Chain A
Amino acid sequence: MRKKTRIGKALLYAVLVIYAVITLIPFLWALSSSFKTLEEMVSGTISLIPNHFTLENYKQIFVEQELFPRWLLNSVVIAVVVTVLNLLFNSMAGYALARLQFPGRKPLFLIILAVLMVPAQVTMIPNYLILKQLGWLNSYQGMIVPTMINATFIFMMRQFFINFPRELEEAAELDGLGRFGTFFRIVLPLARPALAAQAIFVFMGSWNDFMRPLIILSDPQLFTLPLGLNSFKGQYISYWNYIMAASMVFTLPVLIIHAFFNRYFIKGISFTGGK
């Protein structure tokens, strides 16, 4: 290990602690605001501990906006279905590109690489028109079907399967398992870390997406949480106590997921991070 002087160590800790404070302050401020009364919030005092601790804001948002639980449900349904479909299709496509010999494999792979480069805005308008033609605007399938595969993760899964030991699959085939049997019983269970990383990214992407629901959904019944939150802000423009409480309700599920699966996040990023 490298030697470290006392002063150097203290300096490093100072940097870490200061940045931790900078990171946490907005969250703590929002959290404490959500337990304050509106009068206290607008009075302009800066205290992290509420003078009059109240749960009223949390109760009120569910009373004032009866669609709130519905938005939560929409977000959960869409994010879960999208995640499951992505896991299935991306890993099958990645596996096919890594292992199977079929005509057009090379061009197909190049097309997927090219798709990686195209920014979402280019496909946003045509996608809208296609969904309109299908009558899928304002529907779950309009939100789910266009996002059920993802070129980035097909690529990631291909890279993963290419480095996967071939001997295992050969052994499985000798034991009489077919292509699908090998894939679902042998390959997928061993790909768990890659799948977990992928699941988290897809789920977060769908859960936090703002632009797609903004374009596709106009019926408040079908709003997802980010969109609902935005419209909520529009209605209660200066009721920052409600807005902060709603924001906290929305953030909590993700923080819980993070607490449990934190190591997969880190792994997942280094996966996608050009390694």
Chain B
Amino acid sequence: MQTLFIIGPIVFAVFLAFHKVQLLGTASFEFVGFDNFARMAHDTRAKIALWNTVKYVVIVVPCQTVLALVLAATLNAGLKGEKFFRIVYFLPTLTSSAVLTLIFMWMYNQNGFINHVLEAVGLPTYNWLGDPDVALNAIMIMNIWSTAPYFMVIYLAALQDIPDSLYEAAELDGANAWQKFWHITVPYLRPVTSFVVIMGLIGTFQLFDQSYIFSAGSGGPNNSTLTVVLLIYQYAFKTLGTMGYAAALAFALAIVILVATMLQRKLSKEESLY
């Protein structure tokens, strides 16, 4: 079973990436060499999708990581009611992406909740869903909000392993709360942070559900929420004769993710030298 549905498809995926696929009647495959890969260079929508995805990754991963760490450290401070807050914070992680996206679309409405709050505190309001300049930001805000708690739990587990004696020693040296956080907690958690960032990279590069529901599958307005995976979906299942090209794009995405995670590993290793 493992072979049929996991290994098989991977081999099949490589095969597809080098073929032109027709699905009318019986499936036909025509070998086209590297044509599918060459085509990417001239595909403006692919470039837009890659740009959107990279922008999304570069903003969302650091934000959700920092937020997760700050929340975990605050929760771990030994206050009463910690359990209650932990349960509340975890809610977005449990809720399906489809439901969350719909709730946020309703809140992002031009005459909706978020604009009303912004107006009340004197900030500018936006056409969150319809303006190409802000639509992707709307998805970013929503996803930072919904994924940070998941990583917070990972940080919480690791925080419990930090020996109290470290903090006590720092207190004797007269360190304040911020210094303790910055010089003990953060360095101690570096391996966990590395894990959280890698998981974050893998997750964010695969953004699909939210973009799809936001734009009803189009990636609009004006391609502003088009992500690589949404583009792959469109080429594979919505236009005829481009399935092989979609497989090539998926293959390219896998390589981009691999390179990004390796880069992260390299960077975090160099960091630990200091």
Contacts and interface: CB of A to CB of B under 8 A. Distances in A.
B75 interface: yes
A146 interface: yes
Contact of A115 (B6, B71, B75): B6
B41 interface: no
B253 interface: yes
Contacts, number: 226
Contact of B94 (A125, A243, A254): A254
- What range describes how many residues of B lie at the interface? 35 or more
A175 to B, nearest CB: 33
Interface string B1-26: 11011111110110010000001000
- What range describes how many residues of A lie at the interface? 35 or more
A121 B16 contact: no
Given A22-B145, A125-B247, A243 B116 contact: no
A207 B103 contact: no
A125 B13 contact: yes
A210 B96 contact: yes
A58 B202 CA distance: 38
Interface in B172-222: 177, 191-192, 195, 202, 205-206, 208-209, 212-213, 216
A65 to B, nearest CB: 15
Interface string B96-107: 111110111011
Contacts of A89: 1
Residue among A111, A117, A123, A258 with most chain B CB within 10 A = A123
Contact of B157 (A23, A145, A258, A273): A273
Interface string B115-126: 011000000000
A126 B8 contact: yes
A183 interface: no
Nearest to A259: B87
Interface in B111-161: 111, 113, 116-117, 145, 149-150, 153-154, 156-158
A84 interface: no
Contacts of A145: 1, 5
A255 interface: yes
Interface string A138-156: 0000000110110100000
A24 interface: yes
B116 A15 contact: no
A211 B94 contact: no
Contacts of B49: none
Given A4-B77, A127-B9, 9 more contacts: A2-B78, A29-B107, A44-B111, A112-B2, A125-B16, A127-B5, A225-B96, A244-B102, A270-B154
